[in-house]
Amino acid sequence: MNLEFGKRPKEIYYDNAATTVVDPQVVEAMQPFTEEKYGNPETPYHLGQESKAAIELARSQIADLLGCSPAEIYFTSGGTEANNWAIKCVEYALNDGIVISAVEHASVIQPANWVGRERLIEVIPVDKLGKIDVSLLTEILSQNAIKLVSIQYANNEVGTIQPVKQISELCKEHESLFHCDMVQAFGKIPEKVSDFNPDLVSLSAHKIHGPMGIGALYVKSGTDLDPLLHGGGQEHGMRSGTHAVSQIVGFGKAAELCWSNMNKEMLRIRKMTASLFGELKVKVNAIRNGDPTSCLPNILNVTIPNVEAAVLSGILNRWGICVSTGAACHTQSGKNHVLAAMGKTELDCKSTLRISMSRFNTESEIVMFVAYLQKAIGELKSRAILSTTLP
């Protein structure tokens, strides 16, 4: 493929684990509820009832994708609120503890630490692929009164899928609740809640081509959970606050589109991810991080030896190529607790890119990305040579 490096290429967006472009069909579904259908769903007249009906349709669309009853879906402002709600509002007894893994998202780690000021908090380490040791979880549950186990379905940095069915079975055996942060996995795998039987599941729209600012918490029927927000009594008194109707509608439509396209698109994306890694392994000596067999289809986390990934990402951005060095919440600190927990050195962490695809990416982008990546690495190396030769 002949590339004209003097010209800026068409934008290549490879940071879909951070957020996704809103699908045009989602925008179309949302549009009426930003203009003519503006009613508050708590009001009795036709404008309010149109909004209420749209919310319940969206609730059903999301429930269909998750495989649960619509009554078990509660809308939140996003995955962070859902995680905070699940962790902070379980009814803890005096000696009840919490278990999380070392690779959880910050919106699980920080609420757990907050609750853990007054109780036991156990952090389970992971192996070099990013998976927890189930035998260690068994030991912890056997020796302690654990009220809640919060372990993600799949990691947002490396894509590794946790043994959630085993985790759930252990929790049921020891009468602990199982909360699963499914924000990255939802809409990318055909898993239903009936397949692994969690008590609480966090979801977010903007990872599946829906809008930002809307998420949900699945609360299994019969699970005791207090509200995090009090006030107007919306969501059957479980989550107060006027509904963000257009965002909810968008979330529902995004879930519907995921359901209708999942099998075909996720197979295509998995093939693209494998193809890209094959190219990077040969051409830039890339090393894949995470479990290559039990992982999300769209996330490829690679270490490129002796390359400063943050600078590399900046060079690629000049050419319209968007790729990250990890989760958006890590960009300020420059640290990656996930890779560190997997045993990676500080140098490895600084040399790592997270590439994440979506259904809007194409095979032709792979060739262009690899070519520009090689060019960027060449520029980095020439800078290093120049800096060592200057007096």
pLDDT per residue as tens digits for the range 248-258: 999 999 999 99
Name the band, by pLDDT with cuts 50, 70 and 90, for residue 328. Answer: low
Domains of the chain: 12-22+262-389 (3.90.1150.10), 24-257 (3.40.640.10)
Residue 2 predicted with pLDDT over 60? no
Supply the pTM of this predicted model: 0.94
The pLDDT of residue 388? 47
Q: Are 55 and 246 in contact (CB under 8 A)?
A: no
The pLDDT of residue 330? 52
The pLDDT of residue 192? 96
Q: Of 89, 322, 329, 349, which one is the catalytic site residue?
A: 329
The pLDDT of residue 94? 87
Q: Provide mean pLDDT across the span 104-122.
A: 95
**N- to C-terminal Cα distance for the chain?**
40
Distance CA 197, CA 192 (A): 9
Q: pLDDT, tens digit, for every residue of 179-225? A: 999 999 999 999 999 999 999 999 999 999 999 999 999 999 999 99
The pLDDT of residue 335? 78
Which of 43-47, 231-235, 333-337 is predicted with the least confidence, judged by mean pLDDT? Answer: 333-337
Q: In the beta sheet, which residues pair with residue 177?
A: 148
Percent of the chain whose pLDDT exceeds 70: 93
The single-letter DSSP state of residue 23 is: P
The pLDDT of residue 122? 96
Q: Provide mean pLDDT across the span 106-130.
A: 95
3-state SS, residue 376: helix
The pLDDT of residue 118? 85
Q: Are 214 and 77 in contact (CB under 8 A)?
A: yes
Residue 88 predicted with pLDDT over 90? yes
What mean pLDDT is reported for the chain? 93
Distance CA 186, CA 254 (A): 11
Residue 334 predicted with pLDDT over 70? no
Name the band, by pLDDT with cuts 50, 70 and 90, for residue 261. Answer: confident
The pLDDT of residue 6? 53
Residue 386 predicted with pLDDT over 50? no
Residue 7 predicted with pLDDT over 80? no
Q: What angle do CA 259, 356, 336 make, to 5 degrees?
A: 125
For residue 10, which phi and psi values (nearest 5 degrees)?
-60, 140
Name the band, by pLDDT with cuts 50, 70 and 90, for residue 382. Answer: confident
Distance CA 238, CA 14 (A): 37
Q: Provide mean pLDDT across the span 259-281.
A: 95
Q: pLDDT, tens digit, for every residue of 358-374? A: 999 999 999 999 999 99
Residue 106 predicted with pLDDT over 80? yes
Name the band, by pLDDT with cuts 50, 70 and 90, for residue 63. Answer: very high
Distance CA 338, CA 333 (A): 13
Q: Provide mean pLDDT across the span 289-301.
A: 97
Q: Provide mean pLDDT across the span 110-128.
A: 95
- In terms of DSSP H, where are the helices of the chain? 24-30, 46-66, 79-88, 106-115, 134-143, 164-173, 193-196, 245-284, 309-318, 337-341, 346-350, 363-389
For the question of residue 322 being annotated catalytic, the response is: no
